[in-house]
Amino acid sequence: MDLTYMTEQFPPYNFKEDGELQGFSIDLLEAMWRIMGVDLNRSIIEVLPWSEGYERTLNKENTVLFSTARLPQREQLFKWAGPIGPFNNVLIMRSDRNLSIVSPGDLLRYRIGAIKDDSAVQMLRDMGVREGTLVLESTARPIIEMLQNGSIDAWAYGDTAGFWLIQESGANVSDFEVAYVLGQADYYYAFNKATPDSLVQSFQEAIDYLKNNTDSDRVSDYAKIISNTY
């Protein structure tokens, strides 16, 4: 079955740099294809704004989206293969803002930017933050600009990717820090619900093999892929 593979600009998991698609989840997917005997490479993967890829995978058959946070609220929306790896969603602020956030209730006092349909939005919603009070964008760039000029107080996003994208924007990473940890979860490959279970299982068996197949030093193929990325 031909699948449409979609991802976003989310380093170091998946990102395009100097015209080349790279990242841990990309390398891992290519290794999974080799194990499955599938003659594909990263050139077929589409890079889209997250909300566009998310909506397409929800509504269109034969689609795959990654790296997708597997949250309880999403469990029945997709079929899953993974995990790819863990992550932290955090609030990133300018260091000179000195926000005081010690409990979820404190979040209501601040203007928070986020990517539409991102897992951080769901975590904020679970903490009582109404989505209508958030500043939602399709990509990170306008959010970083608002964070810099003070029109928002914080950015809700994955910590590693957030700081990576801030640096890529030309800003000084040392001018920013984590104000609050929203939560932890794992990233997966998310398949449209109509995808046959047997096909999803083939992906799962491939990633399991990479995690369990080790060399003489007991280093797994999966660990080698991580080390090559980082």
**Cβ–Cβ < 8 Å for 120, 113:** no
Are residues 101 and 178 part of one domain?
yes
Are residues 62 and 14 part of one domain?
yes
Are residues 195 and 172 part of one domain?
no
Question: 204 has which bridge partners?
Answer: none
pLDDT of residue 83: 98
Distance CA(188)–CA(15), nearest Å, equals 16
Choose one of 168, 184, 200: the last residue of a domain: 184
Are residues 23 and 109 part of one domain?
no
Q: CATH number of the domain that 222 lies in? A: 3.40.190.10
Are residues 169 and 91 part of one domain?
yes
Distance CA(63)–CA(161), nearest Å, equals 24
In sequence order, which residues have a C-beta less than 8 Å from that of residue 44 and are 6 or more positions away? 5
Are residues 55 and 97 part of one domain?
no
pLDDT(122) > 70: yes
| Degrees, nearest 5: CA angle 209-216-22 | 50
pLDDT(136) > 80: yes
The separation between the first and the last C-alpha atoms of the chain, rounded to the nearest angstrom, is 32
Are residues 205 and 173 part of one domain?
no
Are residues 175 and 92 part of one domain?
yes
Are residues 179 and 91 part of one domain?
yes
Residue 230's pLDDT band, with cuts at 50, 70 and 90, is: low
**Cβ–Cβ < 8 Å for 193, 96:** no
Are residues 220 and 177 part of one domain?
no
Are residues 28 and 72 part of one domain?
yes
pLDDT of residue 70: 98
Task: Tally the domains of the chain.
Answer: 2
Tell me the per-residue pLDDT of 66-78, one tens digit each, with 9 for 90 and over: 999 999 999 999 9
Tell me the per-residue pLDDT of 103-117, one tens digit each, with 9 for 90 and over: 999 999 999 999 999
According to the 3-state scheme, what is the secondary structure of the chain? Answer: CCCEEEECCECCCEEEECCEEECHHHHHHHHHHHHHCCCCCHHHCEECCHHHHHHHHHHCCCEEEEEEECCHHHCCCEEEEEEEEEEEEEEEEEHHHCCCCCCHHHHHHCCEEEECCCHHHHHHHHCCCCHHHCEEECCHHHHHHHHHHCCCCEEEEEHHHHHHHHHHCCCCHHHEEEEEEEEEEEEEEEEECCCCHHHHHHHHHHHHHHHHCECCCCCEHHHHHHHHHC
Q: Which domain, by its residues, includes 18? A: 4-86+187-229
Are residues 20 and 43 part of one domain?
yes
pTM (2 d.p.): 0.93
